[in-house]
Amino acid sequence: MGGVKIAVSGKGGAGKTTLAAALIRAYAATHRRVYAVDADPDASLALALGIPPETAVEIRPVVDLREQMRRVMGGEGEFFALNPPLGEVLDEFCFRLGNILLIRMGELKKGGTSCYCRENAFLNAVLTALLLERDEVVVMDMPAGIEHLSRGTARGVDVLLVVAEPNQRSIHTGRLVEGLAADLGIPRVAVVGNKIQSPEDGALVRTAFPGRVLALLPFDRAAYRGEGDLGVEFVAAVAGIKEMLDKERVS
C-alpha cells in the first residue's frame, strides 16, 4: 500500500500530539518508513514519541539549519530558488527513531522579520517534497492554525484529523480549523473526539460535528499527564482510526 498523508490539528491541549504520535507508531509497525513532522511551535512530538527530553531539546528545526539551506537553495540574500530540489537530501534534516524519521519544522516568520521569505520558502519546499514527491506515510502534528500548509502543499494532504475535546472552547477551535481546511482545499476532514469519559461527552462531540466524527478516544490518564505508555483502549481506538483510513485509501 502506498503512503498516506495525515495532518492532525486542534486546540492546544486537546490531545492532537498524543494522537499524532500514536498514529505514527501504528504506521511504523506496518510500513518501512514513516515521516513524523512536528509543525507545532510547542515542539512536543519528539517527547510523545518517547525521545528522552535531553535528546529532544537538541533536535534543531530545519528552518535553523542555515548552512544546509544555503547549500540546497543556492544564492544569498533575496536571490534563492523558490522550489529547491529536496527529494534527494530530505532525510538529512531528520532525526531517526528506528524507521520513524522526525522533522521539526520550526516557526514560520512573519512579514517584517529578516529574510522571512527565504526561510518560509524553504519550509514550503520541505512540505512539498514530503507531501507531493514522496509516496510514503507522513503524519504531521499541526498547530491549530495549520499555517504551515499553503494551497499548494494542502493538495497533498489526504486527510486532516481535527481533535476536539467535549467542551465548547475545543469545539469552537475545531470548527475554525475545519473552515481553514476548506479554504485550502483539503479533500477529507474528519473529527476525532478525545478525552471522552461518558456517553454524554461523545454525544456532545457528535452533535457539534454531525456526520463528521471518525472516532471517539477514551480519556487516557497517562496521555493526559504525559507519562508512561498509553492505555490499551486508547491504542486500540487509534488502531481503529488507522484501519478506517487505510480502507478509505483502497476503496
pLDDT of 82 reads: 47
What is the structure's pLDDT at 74? 58
Please enumerate, as own/partner, the contacts of 199-207 that have beta carbons within 8 Å and a separation of 24 or more: 200/166, 201/166, 202/166, 204/166, 204/171, 205/164, 205/166, 205/171
**Pairing relationship of beta strands 159-164 and 95-97 according to DSSP bridges:** unpaired
Per the listing, cell 504520535 goes with: 21
Mean pLDDT by 10 residues, the chain (251 residues): 86 92 95 93 87 91 71 53 58 89 81 56 82 89 88 91 96 95 93 97 97 95 70 93 89 66
Res 134: pLDDT: 81
pLDDT at 127: 86
* Rounded distance between C-alpha atoms, residue 98 and residue 22, angstroms: 15
- Residue 250 C-alpha from the chain's centroid: 22
* pLDDT value at residue 151: 87
Nearest C-alpha neighbor of 61 from the set 119, 5, 15: 119
Q: What is the CATH number of domain 5-250?
A: 3.40.50.300
| Residue 106 pLDDT | 82
